Structure 1
Amino acid sequence: MKAIAMIPARYAASRFPGKLMKDLGGKTVILRTYEAAKDTGLFDEVYVVTDSDVIYDEITTHGGKAIMSKKEHECGSDRIAEAVEEMDVDIVVNVQGDEPFTEKDSLQKVLEVFKTDDKKEIDLASLMVHITDEEEIRNPNCVKVIVDNRGFALYFSRSVIPFPRAENVGAKYYKHKGVYAFRKEALMDFYRLPMLPLEASEKIEAIRYLEYGKKIRMIETTVQGIEIDTPEDLERAKKQLNV
């Protein structure tokens, strides 16, 4: 089973423009993310896929592998799909470019899903973290996921799901972490299929898979990590480096 990691990397970011090129302890955020993915030793190849000459040069001048996107893309999955279309691979793992503390255990968990999936029932696997903080649960920037009793995703939302209509029934809340492992065929289907209303409304790309009947196996992890979405996140990341 040939597995590669792809790191989609846009230079523009609405909340924190140029965040991937910000300094984090003497290296840029995107270079730290690339090196972290490489250091896991889980992948046949690791690539950064970008629309930016600056990011492309940052990776290649440090001996890494980068691919320039040929056209504009709405989301990371589309950017990756264009890059892997002609590649001979089985599993493609999307590693977020703004997570410089990407670690081996979580990535290994999503890859393991496919090794035991003899019926090829699973189209993609992703991660979720149990959350209890009320503010985080209500925060629309925190994407929540609900799953069935086998761990397959039922829905993703920026709203509070499940809604606490009844209390003390044992419902848990899970935050979706944006690490995906795709079968290549599922990724290419995503690329060719148009966005439908639920994805357009929530602005969550994982919903497209559900709308077209794909099966997403969610894996619980306890590793929160730090996603660098704001300058405050970058300061937290700097503090973690110095711990």
Structure 2
Amino acid sequence: MRARLPQPTLIVIPARYGSTRFPGKALATLDGKPIVQHVYERACQAALPDWKVVVATDDRRILKAAHGFGATAVMTSRTCKSGSDRCAETAQYFPAYPVVVNLQGDEPFQPSFNIRLAVRTLLSSACPVSTLAARCPVKDLQNPNVAKVAISKGRAIYFSRSPVPFYRDTQRSKAAKWFKHIGLYVFRRSFLVEFSKWRETPLEQAEKLEQLRILENGQSIAIAVTPHDSIGIDTPADLARARRMAQAERREVMELT
């Protein structure tokens, strides 16, 4: 059943400066713009009239850049351990929004279709949170920077940096379908605030994937499979790949015109 998109909805873009694998990546340039600006513009394309887009950061350099390209931006605590924690803190400033989207600040190619699909997925379920997945290419199965997800009946069963599921039967593995997790979450606001207070869980600490905290606490995550993939920028090598993608997109536009 196609759920109606809610109003109002808050899209939060958590963007911290001190990334472990790529410090300052939010301000790294892609096609002449900071990465965080690309994410903001994608969010604005998806937003309906009563939705609001906010950049949430712990660094004044990012705050200044966000204000420079016209974004609403807020300073959050440096003690936030995850993007969802930063979203929860930001949601406190905007209590009129019952649905909160965590649109990660390192996903400059996230299609607006995906953002709306994730919102619809939440509203058509009884789950407190939703997310997305896409088909995982075989070349990414062993890449620990690409989180994989096992899915059953529209629910996420497990997330891992390793390939899941493991196919013991070689013949079955030839026709196997693996899915990669797309870093986009939609929360019911009340659950987001509660979730941010929970302690880290053993599997979360092992995999370094915060969404496992939800599953380990017995909650369900609704998940939809999208045909539109997106890439996150976690390392300088990812940025180089993103720049090649941007160049390819420009060439396609020029050929069409």
Same fold (TM over 0.5): yes
**SS of the residue aligned with 1:199?**
helix
Alignment of 1:17-56 (within 5 A): 17-42=23-48, 44-56=51-63
Aligned residue number for residue 151 of structure 1: 154
Q: What is the CA-CA distance between 1:139 and the residue it aligns to? A: 1.8
C-alpha distance after superposition, 1:157-185 (max 9, x if no partner)? 11221112122335421111110011112
Q: What is the CA-CA distance between 1:70 and the residue it aligns to? A: 2.8
**SS of the residue aligned with 2:183?**
strand
The gaps in structure 2 that reach 5 residues or longer are 1-5, 249-257
In the alignment, is residue 220 of structure 1 matched against residue 228 of structure 2?
no
C-alpha distance after superposition, 1:19-44 (max 9, x if no partner)? 11111112111111111211223361
In the alignment, is residue 241 of structure 1 matched against residue 249 of structure 2?
no
Q: What is the CA-CA distance between 1:220 and the residue it aligns to? A: 0.5
In the alignment, is residue 127 of structure 1 matched against residue 98 of structure 2?
no
Match of 1:102 among 103, 110, 115: 110
Look up the equivalent residue of 2:116 and give its one-letter code. Q
C-alpha distance after superposition, 1:68-114 (max 9, x if no partner)? 01341111001111111252211111111111122111111111123
CA distance in 2, matches of 1:28, 1:91: 27
Kept after mapping to 2: 8 A contact 1:129/1:221:
yes
CA RMSD of aligned residues (A): 1.6
Runs of 4+ displaced beyond 6 Å: none
Kept after mapping to 1: 8 A contact 2:122/2:222:
no
Q: What is the CA-CA distance between 1:240 and the residue it aligns to? A: 2.3
Kept after mapping to 2: 8 A contact 1:162/1:171:
no
Most deviating of 30-39 and 40-49: 40-49
CA distance in 1, matches of 2:124, 2:46: 21
Q: What is the CA-CA distance between 1:225 and the residue it aligns to? A: 2.2
Query: Structure 1 length as normaliser, TM-score?
Result: 0.92
In the alignment, is residue 9 of structure 1 matched against residue 15 of structure 2?
yes
Alignment of 1:71-86 (within 5 A): 71-86=78-93
The gaps in structure 1 that reach 5 residues or longer are none
CA distance in 2, matches of 1:235, 1:147: 31
**SS of the residue aligned with 2:196?**
helix
Look up the equivalent residue of 2:134 and give its one-letter code. V
Match of 2:100 among 88, 92, 105: 92
Aligned residue number for residue 170 of structure 2: 167
CA distance in 1, matches of 2:85, 2:12: 12
Kept after mapping to 1: 8 A contact 2:145/2:234:
no
C-alpha distance after superposition, 1:34-72 (max 9, x if no partner)? 112112233610001100100001011222111101341
CA distance in 2, matches of 1:71, 1:226: 26
> Identity percentage over the alignment?
37
Q: How many residue pairs end up in the alignment? A: 238
In the alignment, is residue 189 of structure 1 matched against residue 186 of structure 2?
no
